[in-house]
Amino acid sequence: MKIKRFVGDSFSEVMRQAKEQMGNDAVILHSRRYKEGGLFGLFGREKFEITVAMDENGRNDNQATPTPAEDNVEIKEADSSQFAVHSASEILQEIKLMKDMVEELRERIDDDGGSQDIIDRNSRLLYKHLVSRHVDEKLANRIVKTVEERAEAGQVHDYAHIRNLCVQVIAELIRKPRDIEFKKGKTRVVALIGPTGVGKTTTIAKLAARFSLIEKKKIGLITLDTYRIAAVEQLKIYADIMGLPLQVVYKPSDLKAAVEHFSNRDLVFIDTAGRSPRNDEQMAELVALLREAEPDEVILVLSATTNSDDLLDTFKRFNIMKIDKIIFTKLDETNCYGSILNTVHRTKKRLSYVTNGQNVPDDIELLNDIQIAQMIVGDDSAS
């Protein structure tokens, strides 16, 4: 019986040495992995060792006979009877060796930048978080797939890095929100439409205050919301406080004259009555009004507290007026903003302002795409 120990930088290397020098019939007696060098066992270079035995009578004569002087080889002579009791141990050691070889393969994949287990775990956490933020499941899956494709090999273990990539991907889907656009020397007419209860009148007051007080634009206000006396009175109060002119229109034929009355203004806001998107008669009336006004922009006002399916249905019904942008209100009444992403992505319309309270003129903002994306992702306890 001849016993030899082989040492190398990997199990595949020492197995190759063993097969070349001892043949395929050699039996593994022992295997281990250890570190060589370093300081107090730290930072050492990993080494692999196997000890194999071979019956000299069955050895292939064509194999080269190694000498004790060969690198990483140690030869010990022993009576073969000493190893008869080791058959069970040899089997266990061989199983252990196979496990170690599998582990080595996994480590090589990690070294090559795969780290799929980490990516998969982080992906699951990210997907679960996005869905909890009311992001549509299919869209959440698409976002996670894109994040996986962009993840850098050296940072796949860092969930915070994965989350930041998610913010970037969502920002690209949102695109840059757009302000009201002006053309020099031309009055800009902007109509706000939307279902009942989303806060159109308050939003117009906030926009009027922003453009008159901050942007120093000359503003005119028109209200068509004569269904509710309170809405007219509310806008009158705001107009008086800000010193802005207000025209109240009761029928479509008067609307064009009201718009022309403000031809010396930079910006004219039209406040429309809230309509039920499922009431065909009300929607037809709104279409007739806007046809008379010929607005430069039609902005749909939606509430962030509404679920995604209803938001999409509302958009489709109001889009007979050819919507240009979307404003989301009531951000202060919810903590989950995935419905904003779902709506903007599915309608392909640009987001404009968002409102987060009732205070005029303060609670309105034109956020950038990254800010919106961060708001959608929110706090993530998984990180």
- For residue 327, the tally of other CB atoms under 10 A from its CB is 24
Which of 31-45, 52-66, 224-238 is the most confident on average? 224-238
Q: What is the pLDDT of residue 288?
A: 83
| Confidence (pLDDT) at 38 | 54
Q: Give the DSSP per-residue string, 283-319.
A: HHHHHHHHHHH--SEEEEEEETTS-HHHHHHHHHHHG
pLDDT tier at 70, thresholds 50, 70, 90: very low
267 Cβ neighbours under 8 A, 6+ residues apart:
180, 182, 187, 188, 190, 211, 217, 218, 219, 220
Tell me, what's the pLDDT at 116? 55
Average pLDDT on 248-274 reads 89
Contact 190, 295 (CB under 8 A): yes
In this prediction, residue 79 carries a pLDDT of 43
A 10 A CB-CB count for 199 gives: 20
Note the pLDDT of residue 37. Answer: 64
**How high is the pLDDT of residue 177?**
95
pLDDT above 50: residue 91: yes
Residue with tokens 């281990």: 32
- Residue 309, judged by CB atoms within 10 A of its CB (0-12, 13-18, 19+), counts as exposed
Q: Which residue has the higher pLDDT, 232 or 239?
A: 239
| 364-365 β-sheet, strand order | 246-248, 219-223, 267-271, 188-193, 297-303, 325-329, 350-355, 364-365
State residue 103's pLDDT score. Answer: 62
Q: Is the pLDDT of residue 234 over 90?
A: no
d(CA 206, CA 356): 11
Higher-scoring residue by pLDDT: 167, 152: 167
pLDDT of residue 90: 54
Q: Dump pLDDT digits (tens) for 185-206.
A: 899 999 999 988 898 989 999 9
Torsion of CA 300, 301, 303, 304, to 10 degrees: 70
Q: What is the CA radius of gyration of the chain?
A: 37
User: 35-44, 143-152, 156-165: which has the minimum mean pLDDT?
Assistant: 35-44
Confidence of residue 371 (pLDDT cuts 50, 70, 90): very high
CB 74 within 8 A of CB 50: no
Q: Which of 255-259, 353-357, 376-380 has the lowest mean pLDDT?
A: 376-380
Residues 6 or more apart in contact with residue 119 via CB below 8 angstroms: 148, 151, 156
Q: Which residue has the tokens 């009355």?
A: 261
Instruction: Give the number of other Cβ atoms within 10 Å of residue 137's Cβ.
Output: 10
Q: What is the mean pLDDT of the chain?
A: 81
Please report which confidence band the pLDDT of residue 364 belongs to, taking 50, 70 and 90 as the band edges.
very high
Which pLDDT score is estimated for 243?
92
CA 367 and chain centroid, separation: 18
- pLDDT the model gives residue 112: 45
The answer on pLDDT for 369 being more than 60 is yes
pLDDT at 165: 93
pLDDT reading at 41 higher than 50? no
370 Cβ neighbours under 8 A, 6+ residues apart: 167, 168, 171
Residue 66 has pLDDT above 80, yes or no: no
At 331 the pLDDT is 94
Whether residue 16 has pLDDT greater than 80: yes
Average pLDDT in the 318-333 region?
93
Start-to-end CA distance of the chain, whole Å, equals: 58
Segment (H or E) for 76: strand 73-77
Higher pLDDT, 31 or 141: 141
Reply yes or no on whether the pLDDT at 346 is more than 70. Answer: yes
For residue range 293-308, what is the model confidence (pLDDT) as tens digits? Answer: 899 999 999 999 999 9
- Token look-up 């796949």 returns 156
Q: How confident is the model at residue 72 (pLDDT cuts 50, 70, 90)?
A: very low
The percentage of residues in the chain with a pLDDT greater than 70, rounded to a whole number, is 77
Residue type, 339: S
Max distance between CA atoms of the chain, in angstroms, equals: 114
Mean pLDDT of 65-88: 41
Task: From residue 21, give the alpha-carbon distance in Å to each of 32, 33, 115, 194, 360.
Answer: 20, 21, 36, 83, 87
* Token pair 């009791």: residue: 85
Averaged pLDDT, 258-274: 91
pLDDT for the residue 227:
58
Q: Give DSSP secondary structure letters for 340-352.
A: HHHHHHHH-PEEE
